[in-house]
Structure 1
Amino acid sequence: MNSIDKPNKQAVRSLKMQERVLNATLDCIYEDGMQRASTTEIVKRAGVSRGAMLHHFPSKEVLIAAAVEKLLDDEIDIIRSEADAYARKEKTIDDFVDFLWERFSGRLFMVTMDFLSSARTDDSLRQAVIPVSLNFHASLNEIWKQFFHYEKSSPDKVQILLNTTLCLMRGMAVQTVIRDDDAYYTSIRAAWKAILHDLLDEEAAV
């Protein structure tokens, strides 16, 4: 029994260590920016040795790709849960738009924006994270198909409108870097909600 339990415990410790490293990586990127997120600071925050980190993440590109994948996978779970609440009629489309704004104007956006800026001129980084990004968007499209249904709107139309909503959220999030104006962003969301109600043929008022 002990010989079986020991490898399992080692595997659990290894997974926990990897999670600490990935969380430390995301914290560094969020607080200091992609360019200043050094592996030295990451291992310090994670409380692990550099050798232990390199055993699982042999390069900074691999580490960042794994960290971004964790971030996006966690976000997919959160978005799926909120979409499920919408499908059960516990939330409205207005609630869902506000929820997306909260998600895409915070840590998720700031980390991914830093990544995109760095990946534009770093081919190794770009190639490492492209599959992760594609998987994230594929998962979003599956969520749109699974939880959002309208009698008068085709699935393709719903998918396009919800992806357009994400693009709007990202665009507003970019502006938050230079414009701190809650009323401004609230008014834009209100206008988009009204457009969504019209385009999706929903009868609920904004």
Structure 2
Amino acid sequence: MSTRAPRRTQHERRVATRARILDCAVACLLERGYAATTISEVQERAGLARGTVQHHFPSKQDLVVDATAHVVEARLARFEHEARLVPPDRRPFEAFVDLAWRDLNSPAFFAALELWVAARTDTQLRDRLVAEERRLFERMRSVYASVLGDPYATDPRTPTVVEFTIDVLTGLSMTTMLTGNLGEREAALRRWTYAVALMYGEIAPDDLLAGPRISTSAG
């Protein structure tokens, strides 16, 4: 009895080739930056003929525009995996801030950052990126709420807290990327965790400076 796997269809081969090209494009964005992400570089990484790559993506713009969705899917997959690994007894504010930081310090985030910079002067890329980022954050918001748990998941302050956290930690990630100052990063993460507790009224304003052990009804 033959155990040989069935041959893939033409559609399956096409999908696999396309995914391979996009994987290589994202890796190139991360390792070498937007300017060095060329059809030739991606072709070499993928081990494919130039004609094959250009059959799927005739130009660099076609490639990077489609890479935006690929980056978002990679980022979501990692994010949701990390969320599933949060220990059930972890203090909710600490778990929430830690999960946000892991996402905003991940390879997929830094690949997205390269696309953000390029999108400043590329209308087509910007339009696609805005749509993909909207899809990304819609999924992330629901995961963040589940990590915070009750009563915070349904608290009317939660959308604002999530938005502030993403904005603050995005800036922190970019600063750390440039300075490499891990000590300041850890201190800033602790302070923001206390700030989140303060926004929910779980600690007093004076406690924000003292850095107390956070005690919450959900933790």
TM-score, normalised by the number of residues in structure 1 = 0.82
Change (3 A) 1:156 1:43: farther
Aligned to 1:89: 88
Q: Structure 2 CA distance, aligned partners of 1:201 and 1:81?
A: 30
Matches within 5 A, 1:45-124: 45-86=45-86, 89-92=88-91, 93-124=93-124
Question: Cα RMSD between the aligned structures?
Answer: 2.6
More helix by share: 1
Cα 1:152/1:166, change in 2 over 3 Å: closer
Give 4+ residue runs of structure 1 displaced > 6 Å after superposition: none
Q: Whole-Å Cα distance in 1 between the matches of residues 156 and 38 of structure 2? A: 42
Percent of aligned pairs sharing the same letter:
19
Unmatched segments (≥5 aa) in structure 2? 1-5, 204-211, 215-219
Counterpart Cα distance in 1 of 2:152 and 2:30:
42
Matched residue type, 2:105:
S
Query: Judging changes above 3 Å, is the alpha-carbon distance between structure 1 residues 154 and 128 closer, same or farther for their aligned structure 2 residues?
Result: closer
1:1-206 matches, within 5 Å, as: 8-86=8-86, 89-92=88-91, 93-151=93-151, 154-201=154-201, 205-206=213-214
Deviation at 1:17, TM superposition (A): 1.5
Shift of 1:85: 4.8
Matched length: 200
- What TM-score comes out, normalization by structure 2 length? 0.78
What are the Cα deviations for residues 36-94 of structure 1, in whole angstroms up to 9, with x where unaligned? Answer: 211111011011222222332333223213222122112223323333455x7254331
Shift in Å, 1:153: 7.0
Deviations 1:124-171 (A, max 9, x none): 322232221221122222333455433267444112212211111110
> Structure 1: 5+ residue runs without aligned partners?
none
